[in-house]
Structure formats: structure tokens, C-alpha cells
Amino acid sequence: MAAGRSDRLTMFSEQLLCEQPNQDEPVRKRQRKGKRAEHKEEEELIAFGYEARIFDDKNTATKVEQGHYLLPWQSDDANNKMMLDRFDVRHLLESIPPRIPHRDFPKEPYPDIDEERYADLDSDEGSLFDMSEDERDARVDEKRRKKQQQEEASNAFKYDYEGNSQSDIQRKLAAQYKTAADMPLPDTQEQADTIVSTAKAAAASVNPKLFEIKTQARQGNNPLYAFLSQRHPLYRFYKHIIWLSSSGLGAYGDSSSSDDDDDDDNEKDDQPTRPPDDIAGVIQKTAQSVARAGKALEARIRQGHGQNPKFGFIHQGHQYHAYYKKQLESFQKST
């Protein structure tokens, strides 16, 4: 018996050893997993259907329509007894809030908006079906022609070929200072003289920006000096005169004027333009000192301060040299 048992045990163990998993089995599992992944990618949508039977039970349908299967609503309000379907969500409510009264809206609440919305549509579109082909083509051509005329009338622009939009003073300033066509110009001679004199004084000063600030502080209430603001339309013309004066082209307009303006230029030479107050004060003090000390002082000022823009009027080509000469002559006569 013992030998028989050992044989059976040995055979049982050998059988177990034979049933052990092979080394190739994990490879097959990996291959199966790969195939399953491929099948999952291909099977994007899966639909299941179940068979259902439909019974034609007229008696049950009649009971449903008559409300035999409705259940009473369990609420605290004894006066409000409603019969509801067993799946009705109102069974979960203890009380029903009062109904909001219905507001009567007009059939066309916004007629103005609709009129604007459908303005581009052809209002005669429906009547075109009752016309013949020739009448319909003639009607469409007529409406197209009227629409084109309206567009041309709305987009029309009147060109001023005669150039009457500028006054005589503005045309004179444009020719004298060679301004751009779109540059705003002064419309009065007083305004033009103020801008030109201030611009030339700023160009001759040591610090033009500081000069503008001081002038604005002194002439803040004077509308003639409103052009010093960068938002003013004439500020561009003022900067143009500064550029001409700084580049040495300040007297360009005088030399390029027509022969009809020669008499006016001679009168201006007799009466030189008065500079601003701060520069006029320097010129008057210098002229008074030179009138007392003689020409030697003028030569020393020209030699020592000739490069200083503050004393630029000492030089003959300066714009305020004529004013300096006139002040010097007046002080020499008084002394």
C-alpha cells in the first residue's frame, strides 16, 4: 500500500508539473491584449437593442385616459386635491408656489427695430410673382437704378477747385512760409503776427521750451496765445515757424514775396517787429549800455557773447537786429 501510494503521489506530482504554465503563455497573453486594444479602437460605438412587445389593450387604455391610475397629491392643503401620475415630480413637493400671472405681450413688441432690420429687403417681392417676366425685369431694373442714384447722392463730395475755402491772409501766409496744404493757418493778421513773433523769439532763446512755459504763464488769459497749447490747431503752424527760424529760413518768405508786397516790406523795415517782453528787455538794456559806453562795448559783447542766442540780435542778420538798432539810435539821441 505504501508503494502504491507513493506511485500515486509521484504520478500526481508529475501531473501537476505537467500542468504548470508554459513560458510561452505570457507572450500569448500579451498578444491577446494587443488584439483586444485593436478591437477597442475599431469599436467606437456599440448599440444594444432589446425586444419589446406591444399589447393592444383597449380596456387598459380607456382606464388610463379616464384617470383610474392617477394618485392623489399628498399635500398640506386640504382644498388642493390634485390627481397626478405616479411618476409626476410634484409628488415630491409639499406645496406648490402661486403661478406668476401671464403678461400680455404685443404681437409686434419692437416694430421700429423690425422696420430697421428688414429695411434692405425688397418690399415688393411678393407682388413680383403676379407680374409677367418683362414687367418683373423692368421693375427690378428701375429699383436698382434708384438705389444706385441714392448711393451716389449720399457719397457725393463737393470739390473746391477754385480754392475759396482760404481767406486772403491764409493764402498769403501759405505762399510766404511754404506751409503744407492741410496745415491750419491763422485767419487774422493780428493772430499771424503774434504767432510769428513768438515763434522767432522762441527760436532765438536759449531754452525754447522754457520760453514757451514762461509765455504761457504770462499770457494765460490772452486768447491770442492759445496756440502754445499742443492741442490747438495753430500749434503746428507755430512749430513750422520755429523750424524756419532755427534753420535760417526765417526771412525766406520776405525774399520770395511778389513785387506787389514790396511797399509793405519797406514799411515793415521802417517799423521793425517788437520781440517778446523778455527779449525786448535784454535788447533795450544792451542798447542803453552801448549808447553810453560806445561801440567798443558792442564789439566786446559780439566777441564774448556772440555764440549766445540771447545776444543774437547783435549780429546784423538776426531778425531782431533792426529793433536793436532802432533802440540804440533812440538812446543815442536821448543821451
Neighbours of 131 (CB within 10 A): 14
pLDDT tier at 13, thresholds 50, 70, 90: very low
User: What percentage of residues in the chain have a pLDDT greater than 90?
Assistant: 1
User: What percentage of residues in the chain have a pLDDT greater than 70?
Assistant: 65
* H-helix segments, 189-234: 189-204, 208-218
Domains by residue range for the chain, with CATH: 65-93 (no CATH), 185-270 (1.10.10.790), 277-334 (1.10.10.790)
Q: Judge whether residue 62 has pLDDT over 80.
A: yes
Q: Judge whether residue 140 has pLDDT over 50.
A: yes
pLDDT tier at 35, thresholds 50, 70, 90: low
Higher pLDDT: 116 or 120? It is 116
* H-helix segments, 46-132: 58-66, 111-117
Q: Which residue has the cell 501510494?
A: 5
pLDDT tier at 309, thresholds 50, 70, 90: confident
Q: Amino acid letter at 170?
A: Q
pLDDT in tens, 284-307: 888 888 888 888 888 888 777 767
- 289-315 core/surface letters (b: 16 or more CB in 10 A; e: else): ebbeeeeeebeebeeeeeeebebbbbe
Q: Which of the given ranges, 22-26, 148-152, 265-269, 283-287, has the highest pLDDT on average?
A: 283-287
pLDDT tier at 231, thresholds 50, 70, 90: confident
Per-residue pLDDT at 335: 65
CB–CB of 200/319 below 8 Å? yes
